[in-house]
């Protein structure tokens, strides 16, 4: 179960896609950092937030690379140091994307509401899956194993719901950057922003595909696959 080579065969498409997406985002990130913008990431975030009436949402610097995120509980847009300080297409693109999440939050964007409600499933689903499956195997209890699979399916649901949330935030970011004259439409900066945000989107697609394929692998192990092995025995 834990070291089955078939697992890597199952998820190999997701691994290939993730490696490609990570290469693409590293390349787009580095190139976009060389394309100048009129504002730093922090200034662009503040400008867009204020224009949207979100004066109570703070913009803070955080440590780490690609650690940028919006915290809905604290109502804070946190930007990594490079994004926070640099005035580049990459910086304003990532900053505007995170502000896009703040705008979704303030407007009650339905997919974001559903995603936030599914956060516990993403946080505890894999752990619940492992506990229930191990106990189910020890007790030879099919219902416990099926319940464990349902827990893991919660993670898949979260990631599926998260995709439209991320794509919408990127769409908002590109539109607002142009509307507010932070970057020019049909310019090098606009193209660089699209490449960075597009590459980031593929990482979410790859992660979602991996979770789906992993779930299918475990379903095959604990249902059809295991039954076939028993029949042959």
Active site residues: 98
Helix H or strand E segment including 129: helix 119-139
Residue in 21, 28, 50, 159 with CA at minimum distance from that of residue 94: 28
Quote the tokens at residue 152.
């893991």
Torsion of CA 40, 45, 46, 48, to 10 degrees: 120
Contact 183/195 with Cβ under 8 angstroms? no
Specify the pairing of strand 69-71 against strand 58-62. Answer: unpaired
Return d(Cα 219, Cα 11) in angstroms, integer: 14
Return d(Cα 23, Cα 153) in angstroms, integer: 28
Please state, as a whole number, how many other Cβ atoms lie within 10 Å of the Cβ of residue 142.
11
Q: What is the DSSP letter of 118?
A: T
């Amino acid at each position: 179960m834990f070291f089955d080579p078939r697992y890597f065969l199952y998820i190999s498409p997701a691994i290939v896609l993730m490696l490609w997406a990570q290469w693409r985002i590293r390349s787009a990130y580095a190139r976009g950092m060389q394309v100048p913008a009129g504002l730093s990431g922090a200034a662009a975030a503040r400008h867009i937030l204020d224009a949207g009436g979100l004066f109570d949402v703070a913009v803070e610097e955080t440590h780490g690379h690609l650690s940028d995120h919006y915290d809905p509980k604290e109502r804070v847009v946190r930007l990594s140091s490079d994004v926070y300080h640099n005035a580049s297409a990459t910086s304003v693109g990532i900053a505007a994307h995170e502000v896009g999440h703040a705008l979704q939050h303030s407007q009650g964007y339905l997919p974001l509401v559903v995603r936030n409600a599914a956060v516990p499933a993403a946080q505890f689903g894999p752990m619940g899956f492992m506990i229930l499956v191990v106990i189910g195997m020890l007790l030879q209890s099919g219902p416990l194993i099926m319940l464990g699979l349902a827990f893991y399916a919660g993670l898949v649901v979260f990631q599926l719901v998260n995709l439209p949330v991320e794509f919408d935030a990127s769409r908002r970011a590109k539109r607002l950057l142009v509307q507010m004259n932070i970057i020019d439409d049909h310019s090098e900066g606009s193209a660089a922003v699209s490449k960075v945000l597009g590459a980031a989107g593929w990482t979410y697609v790859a992660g979602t595909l991996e979770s789906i394929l992993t779930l299918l692998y475990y379903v095959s192990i604990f249902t059809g696959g295991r039954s076939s092995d028993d029949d042959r025995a």
